[in-house]
Amino acid sequence: MAARGLVLGLLAACIAGAAKESVLNVCMDAKHHKTQPGPEGALHGQCAPWKDHACCTAQTSAEAHQDRSHLYNFNWNHCGVMPERCKQHFIQDTCLYECSPNLGPWIDQADTSWRRERILNVPLCRQDCEQWWEDCKDALTCKENWHKGWNWTTGTNQCPRGFMCQPFKYVFPRPADLCEKIWSGSYKYTTEHQGSGRCIQMWFDPAHGNPNVAVAKYYAQNGADASPVPWAVLLLLLLPPALRSLL
């Protein structure tokens, strides 16, 4: 019994450790992502913080800054010109999504023609979400969920028939509404603050290191999604009979 408990414990520890490491330092299986992160010394503009270790290419980072980017043919100015202070947040959002290798704990399967994986419920720092809302509250949009439901007949997104342009503050009454609803739950509003090690930052100074590395490690180790027990059972079935007999 003691030997059996020891082997099971070792198996569980090994599997749990492997599961935790597997979600760190990874790129999504999506339209423009590299297969694995690496240095990109020429990343453009707001994507530059990831230049030493990125899931995006220099070309992707440049496209992220265009009003009608070829990345997804998405037009920020679907209800008139988006104010520059608001647009900066959407550019930063795109840079985080395309470039960050620290989103592994929140990668989920996606059933779409243009990507196999997406992010879900990434915990955003309070300052990032609230400043995003503050700078965009007077900008105009016609939709709450920007992932779907657009009129694409012209090749780029247009407001569907019957949808009226109105200020963000009416479409998204609270910061949490903006961060959580605009991309189908990709982000989750939190009350955690920047530097706490408990929330992902869209904005950071690379001179002080990437704070999202520690956040990904924390959630990989403490998240409720991974359970080693089913994998332990599976590995037990794969063990040679002689080793299983010791259990």
Pairing of strands 122-124, 187-189: parallel
pLDDT level of residue 233 (50, 70, 90 thresholds):
very low
pLDDT digits (tens, 9 = 90+) for 75-123: 999 999 999 999 999 999 999 999 999 999 999 998 787 788 999 999 9
Q: How far from 238 is each of 3, 10, 222, CA to CA, in Å? A: 18, 15, 28
Say if residues 155 and 75 touch (Cβ distance below 8 Å): no
The pLDDT assigned to 41 comes to: 83
pLDDT of residue 38: 93
- Overall average pLDDT of the 114-142 stretch: 96
Q: How large is the average pLDDT for residues 179-204?
A: 96
Query: Residue 227: CB partners within 8 Å, gap ≥ 6?
Result: none
| Domain extent listing, the chain | 2-244
Token couple for 217: 């490690």
Q: How far is CA 173 from CA 43, 138, 176, 181, in A?
A: 34, 11, 8, 11
12: confidence class by pLDDT, cuts 50, 70, 90: very low
pTM: 0.81
State residue 240's pLDDT score: 53
Q: Which residues, other chains included, contact 180 with Cβ-Cβ below 8 Å and sequence gap of 6+? A: 187, 188, 189
State how far the Cα of 122 lies from the Cα of 208, in Å rounded to an integer: 22
Whole-angstrom distance, CA of residue 64 vs CA of residue 59 = 9
Q: How far is CA 87 from the centre of its chain?
A: 18
- For the chain, give the percent of residues with pLDDT over 70: 81
Q: Band the pLDDT of 4: cuts 50, 70, 90.
A: low
Which residues have CB under 8 Å from 154's CB, separation 6+? none
